[in-house]
Amino acid sequence: MIIENFTPVSALLGGALIGVAATLLLLLNGRIAGVSGIAGGLLRPATGDVAWRALFLLGLMIGAGGYGLVDLVPIRIDASLPILVLGGLLVGFGTQLGKGCTSGHGVCGIARLSRRSIVATLVFMISAGLTVYLVRHVIGG
């Protein structure tokens, strides 16, 4: 993915929207906005638990799609479909291995000063940095 003409305004606005959504979900529903947990809960639904999960995920998709339609920042994805699918499966595996994802640990857990979430987020970020370095400088040449 290549993002051209980056400005901090879109990052600030996106971060604020994520924070508001996570706060509202916690205040109104008593749930932490860990996206992998929300999506995983759809695979093993409890009584009365499907609607809010489906609506939350639908809102994420609508938000991303709406942003793409506005086209404030051109986004180009250079990866092939098999690479995107493999990446998605690896992320799913990683969220199970790490007992959560960057939204649950990084946004909500750090805000609650959870040591476990702080450590998990550090591991996520270090792993991501190493992966990018390896792919761009060692494997990809």
Average pLDDT of the segment spanning 110-133: 90
Write the pLDDT tens digit of every residue in 20-69: 988 998 898 888 888 888 888 888 877 778 888 899 889 888 887 777 77
pLDDT at residue 3 greater than cutoff 70: no
pLDDT value of residue 96: 78
Between CA 76 and CA 55, with CA 86 as vertex, the angle to 5 degrees is 75
What are residue 135's DSSP bridge partners?
Answer: none
CA atoms of 66 and 77, how far apart (whole Å): 17
Q: Whole-angstrom Cα distance, residue 13 to residue 18? A: 9
Q: Provide the β-strand partners of residue 2.
A: 76
pTM recorded for the entire structure: 0.70
The pLDDT assigned to 2 comes to: 53
Per the prediction, the chain carries an average pLDDT of: 83
Q: Give helix 35-43 / helix 50-70 axis angle, nearest 10°.
A: 130
Q: Where are the domains of the chain?
A: 2-139
**Segment 75-85 mean pLDDT:** 82
